[in-house]
């Protein structure tokens, strides 16, 4: 499947213009326009190239460190299963990165504290922190 990077670039330029302020916190999950990316980087889906993202660390009122989520079952040290609204999701730990809040589309959920601690502990092991 050929990726339409030109279409994503148009969308990304519009995201750059967003002036909205968002209230968010660690443990929140937001649908974000993560974009159309290359090779093994996770891409968003749909018209706005969206994917749910778990907020691991709020850096400022406009940025955070997050991990994209997937509904597809994943196994291995780079993934961890979590439960959102009674459904299993998988945190793509190897995709950890900084995001701008300009990518926010809408809030999806807040992760259960137990699962949030599990994610952070698994990341520590993965990153050898």
Q: Are 89 and 83 in contact (CB under 8 A)?
A: yes
DSSP 8-state symbol, 15: H
Task: Give the per-residue pLDDT at 39.
Answer: 62
Q: 50 - beta bridge partners?
A: 33, 45
What's the pLDDT at 41? 60
**Was domain 5-127 assigned CATH 3.30.1180.20?**
no
What's residue 12's pLDDT?
A: 80
pLDDT beneath 70, residues of the chain: 1, 36-41, 43
């Amino acid at each position: 499947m050929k990726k339409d990077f030109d279409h994503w670039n148009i969308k990304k330029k519009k995201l750059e213009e967003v002036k909205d302020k968002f209230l968010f916190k660690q443990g929140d999950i937001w649908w974000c326009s993560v974009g159309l990316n290359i090779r093994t980087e996770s891409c968003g889906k749909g018209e706005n190239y969206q994917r749910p993202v778990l907020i691991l660390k709020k850096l400022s009122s406009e940025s955070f460190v997050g991990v994209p989520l997937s509904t597809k079952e994943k196994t291995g040290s780079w993934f961890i299963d979590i439960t959102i609204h009674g459904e299993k999701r998988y945190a793509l730990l190897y995709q950890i990165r900084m995001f701008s809040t300009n990518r926010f589309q809408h809030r999806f959920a807040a992760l259960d504290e137990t699962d949030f601690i599990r994610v952070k502990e698994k990341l520590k092991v993965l990153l050898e922190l």
